Amino acid sequence: MVQKTQQTPNSPSSLKESPLISIPSNEEGGLSVGIFGGSFDPIHKGHIALAKAFLTEKELDEVWFMVSPQNPFKVNQRLLDDHLRLEMVRQAILDEPHFKASDYEFHLSKPSYTWNTLQHLKHDFPRNTFTLLVGGDNWQAFNHWYHAEDIINHYNIVVYPRHNHLTTPSQLPNHVSILQTPLIDISSTVIRQRVRQGESITELVPPRIEDLILQYYK
């Protein structure tokens, strides 16, 4: 049994130790914020399109790209350096005033479980409301997530369609909805493969970061 007085790296009493480096604190009032977490290894046009649909359809004030240093379900995956991926996200969204790139999870204990991140955000930004964006593939495995039921009960979740992982509204609990957007036929894996094979990625990635991707993934 866990003692209620026990202090852990992710307990409420330690939340003040997790600064949000890339996003200034909003002291004037609450924002409706969409959380788009991922490895972004690398970020591509599909991510941008999803974020735009998320922002518009759910009438959000901002979408925060939460760059993950480690996916709990992909502990053996070799990712590009955290700060290089973060910088590519920053560059990719420079022209989008409602998008923010965040290194927030870099400063939390690892692995970076979504529940821990949301709890820290709630503490650091108590006036904001947060909506979580997840892919249909992740939603189908959501019951395996750390504190899955707590996330569903305390936060709004928006599911976007993925190939072979389609979800219907009748399958969803309260606070969970489907993003009405076409299937995005772009993946970071394909982009990395194309770079290694010397194939073009021009149509898949934001122009500002194409050269960086070619440099980092060759």
Tell which phi-psi region holds residue 198, choosing left (phi > 0), alpha (psi between -120 and 50) or beta. Answer: left
Query: 56 lies in which domain range?
Result: 28-185
Domain assignment present for residue 107? The answer is yes
Q: Which residues are within 8 A (CB) of 149 and not within 5 positions of it... i.e. 6 or more apart? A: none
Tokens read off for 87: 């910088």
Note the pLDDT tens digit of each residue in 150-175.
Answer: 999 999 999 998 876 666 667 788 88
Note the pLDDT tens digit of each residue in 20-62.
Answer: 445 555 555 699 999 999 999 999 999 999 999 999 999 999 9
**Residue 75 belongs to domain with CATH number:** 3.40.50.620
Domain assignment present for residue 198? The answer is no
- pLDDT confidence of 132, banded at 50, 70, 90? very high
Domain assignment present for residue 207? The answer is no
pTM attached to this predicted model? 0.85
Q: Count up the domains in the chain and report the number.
A: 1
**Residue 97, preceding peptide bond in cis (omega within 30° of 0):** no
Cα-atom radius of gyration of the chain, to the nearest Å?
17
3-state class (DSSP) for residue 143: helix
Compute φ and ψ for 48, nearest 5 degrees: -65, -45
